[in-house]
Amino acid sequence: MIATPSKGSLPTSAEMLLAGSPSARSSSPSQIARVVRGRLAAEPGYTAAGQVLGIGPTPGAVSVAEIGDGHRFTSTPALAS
């Protein structure tokens, strides 16, 4: 089971996505990828990233984790800067 972060620290993206998956540490990478893709399926940023030519499931998940809430950017150039 994933340890709960200490008070005042933020969980990593992976910890947040795998929360509630008690067997995450003993799962294979493909099983973990399947869980992450399932949890990101409803995320608009993940869906949008998947529509970009050359962006697969893993880079899409990384993009969503790096960008966070895309609505905080006022424009595409603001996101790119």
Number of neighbours of residue 73 by Cβ within 10 angstroms: 14
CA dist 18 → 12, 14, 36, 55, 80 (Å): 10, 6, 7, 22, 28
pLDDT tens figures, 6-40: 545 545 666 666 666 656 566 777 777 787 778 88
Residue 31 in tokens: 């099983």
pLDDT of res. 22? 56
Q: Would you say 37 and 61 are in contact if contact means Cβ atoms under 8 Å apart?
A: yes
pLDDT of res. 64? 82
